[in-house]
Structure 1
Amino acid sequence: MAKLRPNLTDVDPVWNRIRKEAQDAMRNEPLIAGLVHSSLLHHATLERAMGYRISMKLASAEMSEQLLREICDEAFDSEPMLGQAVRADLAAIFERDPACHRLLQPVLYFKGFQAIESYRVGHWLWQQGRKDLAYFFQMRISEAFGVDIHPAAKIGRGIMIDHAHSIVIGETAVVGDNVSMLHSVTLGGTGKDDDDRHPKIADGVLIGAGAKVLGNIRVGHCSRVAAGSVVLSDVPPCKTVAGVPAKIVGEAGCDQPSLSMDQLLRATGE
């Protein structure tokens, strides 16, 4: 039986702000009033709104929106950490993406955010032993968003995936908290072994567009991987790596590269 949840509308500043933004959006553009109301204002909590949004995006002739919504609601009701992760991811996008001016934008429009929250439901299913349903979520996330995350992968909170074209995250990959990555990033394996074979990305890492991190290697906290790099060996904390294969080219440049989103390579000593 689903856990009883309190009415969060009076104590949830994130959800209250989204609802205010939704009302403003409907006044400014009446043609999207139906979308905004059904996706946001119709729901009592952010968790319910996310369940609805995920189900609408992943529904197909193979599985209905109603069934998917029931699965999402069960996940959010059973695991409060999912709702906390949604809020952390929203804050990350709002703070780091200069194209994001309102909290409702990721919920309604940003496929990177929608993909990662859908993955979180799939990961919950995987942890419950419902692996076939988790694989179904993986398949539909890939088809709907162009983002392929294995449901067994472990991903922290405060994640921003910008643009989110062609993201691949493998089965034994681990991604820490407050990580930012851009489009066409691969966290992949090497060879045909089926053991622990994917990268471990520590907290606060920034991974540039098109970067490939391959094998059971570790990228240390608050490091930067430059765009287009191929990383095949461990990266120490607080360093910048670039090239094919990637080599250390300097310090990370700041104490929180994933927050600053600074991707410029500077000569040593600058």
Structure 2
Amino acid sequence: MRGGAMIGERREGDSLWDGLVEEVRGMASAEPALAGYLYLNVLEHAGFEDALAFLLAGKLGAPHLPAVTLREIFQEGMRDDPGISLAARADLLAVRERDPAARGVAHPFLHYKGFHALQAYRVAHWLWGKKREALAYYLQNRISEVFAVDIHPAALIGEGILIDHGTSVVIGETAVVGDNVSLLHEVTLGGTGKETGDRHPKVASGVLIGAGAKVLGNVKIGEGSKIAASSVVLADVPPHTTVAGVPAKIVGRPSTLQPALAMDQGFALDFSI
């Protein structure tokens, strides 16, 4: 397992955390009305993991499971599995690099619910692996209520993931999402009905799935492929192809090997395919 800083321990040479702190200090100076909020969520913490646990717990806490208890759960998960915080860092960098509205890491860290939902899912997935399924299901429900993103805790999701906007994204129980994938709002990785067992999509690395697209059933979405907005995918998608329509059909090829990184949702019809 890859190493990572312990909760409460300041990591030496942590450029992501240092950059986040610098941005937030600038925000606090420019907007004094937010200074207390910014100090509470970032500046008073020892490192990235501490701040993330505090932020998520504050957003997801409820009277029956308060923020202080949830914070301890998030911290426990990050201590037990350093891969959670490493994936969170990769996800935050993915937002900064792919979303032109981000303009740094501070606003995505503090305000992007797609990022928040994904990091909370990562702890729910850790709980699922520890056989703490009741708590994992509870956290899934709170994530859905607060962020409007519904990810089953058993789903397998890689690193460097962008869930842009986040609203109405659904990822089912047996779904698998590889590294460096970008999903826009209202994407569904779902089943086709009442079938049981392995019934959800398998999305390879570098895939871009446009807003409103529905990928249904145990289908394979090949590496570096692109699914156009509002498409309905019911069959396998070969690697490095573009599909569009209802039902989706191959209409061309992406201009890059990893469309998820380019975030170019346009496509030109290629009638030679």
Fold in common (TM above 0.5): yes
- Larger mean Cα displacement after TM superposition, 36-45 or 229-238: 36-45
Residue 224 of structure 1 is aligned with which of 217, 226, 233? Answer: 226
TM-score normalised to the size of structure 2?
0.95
Residue 107 of structure 1 deviates from its aligned partner by 1.3
Residue 229 of structure 1 deviates from its aligned partner by 0.2
Residue 54 of structure 1 deviates from its aligned partner by 0.7
Give the total of aligned pairs: 268
The SS at the match of 1:178 is: coil
The SS at the match of 2:76 is: helix
Distance 1:135 1:269 in 2: 46
Corresponding residue number in structure 2 for 1:64? 66
Residue 191 of structure 1 deviates from its aligned partner by 2.4
Corresponding residue number in structure 1 for 2:164? 162
Corresponding residue number in structure 1 for 2:36? 34
Deviations 1:131-180 (A, max 9, x none): 00000100000000000000000000000011111000000000000000
Q: For the Cα contact (< 8 Å) 1:204–1:256, is it kept in 2?
A: yes
Corresponding residue number in structure 2 for 1:235? 237
CA RMSD of aligned residues (A): 1.5
The SS at the match of 1:91 is: helix
The SS at the match of 2:150 is: strand
Residue 194 of structure 1 deviates from its aligned partner by 1.9
Residue 269 of structure 1 deviates from its aligned partner by 8.4
Residue 201 of structure 1 is aligned with which of 194, 199, 203? Answer: 203
Q: How does 1:142-181 map to 2 (within 5 A)?
A: 142-181=144-183
Corresponding residue number in structure 1 for 2:45? 43
Corresponding residue number in structure 2 for 1:52? 54
Deviations 1:84-105 (A, max 9, x none): 0011001100000000002111
Distance 2:108 2:271 in 1: 38
Which amino acid is the alignment partner of residue 248 of structure 2?
A: A
Corresponding residue number in structure 1 for 2:255? 253
Corresponding residue number in structure 1 for 2:91? 89
Gaps of 5+ in 1: none
Which amino acid is the alignment partner of residue 197 of structure 1?
A: R
Distance 1:147 1:133 in 2: 17
Residue 190 of structure 1 deviates from its aligned partner by 1.5
Distance 1:70 1:130 in 2: 15
Q: For the Cα contact (< 8 Å) 1:220–1:238, is it kept in 2?
A: yes
Corresponding residue number in structure 2 for 1:122? 124
TM-score normalised to the size of structure 1?
0.96
% identity of equivalent residues: 52
Residue 8 of structure 1 deviates from its aligned partner by 3.2
Residue 20 of structure 2 is aligned with which of 14, 18, 31? Answer: 18
- Say if 1:211 and 1:48 are closer, same or farther in 2 by CA, change over 3 A: same
Which amino acid is the alignment partner of residue 85 of structure 1?
A: A
Q: For the Cα contact (< 8 Å) 2:169–2:188, is it kept in 1?
A: yes
